[in-house]
Structure 1
Amino acid sequence: MSNGFHDQVIAILPKLRVQALALTRNRAAAEDLVQDAVCNALSAQASFIPGTNFAAWMHRILRNRFISNLRKRRDTTDIDDVPASAFATDAPHEDRLALKDLSKAMNRLPADQREALVMVVVQGMSYENLAEATGCAVGTAKSRVFRARRQLEAWLMGEPLQRGSAQAARAAQLTRALQSRLAPSADRVSAS
């Protein structure tokens, strides 16, 4: 095993752990997934082309291993502990509550959106590298992150009207009507 390859594997481990936690939502399963992915990478070391994107190659191995494990098992453990340590440590009480809400909301996201969001926002991966790592088009990668952000915002802001633009337009119309009824009354009071 070449020293450079070994060093790259060690350097990418923290990011692989974050990705594995986003996929599995279970610390023990995430550690097992990272270990399996590293073993796969070491055995496939000869297939890695030096000078190409090592991080994307490793993330793809981890993701493929996760999918392979899902196909074998067909059921996953659903534990509500996205690691708050991935976002912050020693936060004030209000921040810890916000992180807990964010963690619950993240767990509600579809796996592909959660994975994309973690890889881009937490790990700082580019959309191009995300697309390469997950085997999708760049537009699909951007769409997954956008939809995840939009859905998280909706959930964390109290799930605003989601039944379509007709209901939202009706609510806006009712608000304007109420404001117009109150405005003349205020004018009459001030005129007296």
Structure 2
Amino acid sequence: MQTNLADRSAATPAECAAVSASVNVFHELLVATIPTLRLRAMALTRNRADADDLVQAAVSNALAGQASFQAGTNFKAWMTRILRNRFFSNIRARRETSDLDDVPAWRLGRSGGQEESMELRELQRAMARLPAQTRMLLLMIAVEGVSYEDASAQLGLAVGTLKCRVFRARQQMRDWMMGEEIVASAPRRKRLVTTAEPSLSY
């Protein structure tokens, strides 16, 4: 009985090789996913330095929790959940939830100066005005080419809900970029002008 237990506890060369191969595959998947993580981190933080910090934190969490990843499942979806959870954990820890809309405008990278087109700047400004989760969803669908079905599996939302959110986000961005945003204070200004007109009395 004791011999059998000892035999079971001792790793065979084949088992060691399998573990090593598994670790290598995990690291390869992790490296291949980093560009996507950076894009999504930039969409969430709207700041390059914060995005880099977020990616590093997500990678550290992934390495620490490597054993929880099930081989054969969607690695990118797994990493996206880690990144997103870490982002919102940071927000809660810093008590900055109410200040998300005040974060400086999102930047895709270093400014290209005169080479950067006005259309791109307008697109960036419009994208920055979207809520963080909506911005990430739009990037997944419109930029990365993720299908609605895959996005549904990653985010845990119905396909119909995702389509509705993407449609509304695109419509809102189009309105912003075309200068068709409705200014809520406009009716008040009109009323003030009306009341300011002198009344004629005879």
Give the alignment's TM-score, normalised by structure 2: 0.70
Distance 1:73 1:38 in 2: 21
Aligned 8 A contact 2:42 2:106 in 1: no
Question: What residue number does 1:13 align with?
Answer: 34
Task: Give the counterpart of 1:78 among 66, 83, 103.
Answer: 103
Question: What residue number does 1:127 align with?
Answer: 148
Question: What residue number does 1:170 align with?
Answer: none
- Which contiguous aligned blocks of 4+ residues in structure 1 show a shift greater than 6 angstroms? 89-92, 160-163
Question: What residue number does 1:101 align with?
Answer: 122
| 1:116 and 2:137 are equivalent in the alignment | yes
Question: What residue number does 1:143 align with?
Answer: 164
Distance 1:26 1:90 in 2: 16
By how many angstroms is 1:143 displaced?
2.1
CA pair 82-66 structure 1, distance change in 2 beyond 3 A: same
SS at match of 2:71: coil
What runs of 5+ residues in structure 2 fail to find an aligned partner? 1-21, 185-202
SS at match of 1:81: coil
What runs of 5+ residues in structure 1 fail to find an aligned partner? 164-192
Task: Give the counterpart of 1:26 among 47, 57, 63.
Answer: 47
Distance 1:57 1:71 in 2: 21
Computed over aligned residues only, the root mean square deviation of the Cα atoms, in angstroms, reads 2.4
The letter of the residue matching 2:65 is: A
Distance 1:121 1:81 in 2: 17
Q: Which has the larger radius of gyration?
A: 2
Aligned 8 A contact 1:117 1:148 in 2: yes
The letter of the residue matching 1:103 is: Q
Aligned residues: 159
The letter of the residue matching 1:56 is: A
Distance 2:175 2:73 in 1: 38
Aligned 8 A contact 1:84 1:100 in 2: no
By how many angstroms is 1:105 displaced?
0.7
Distance 2:166 2:44 in 1: 15
SS at match of 2:180: coil
Give the alignment's TM-score, normalised by structure 1: 0.74
Question: What residue number does 1:186 align with?
Answer: none
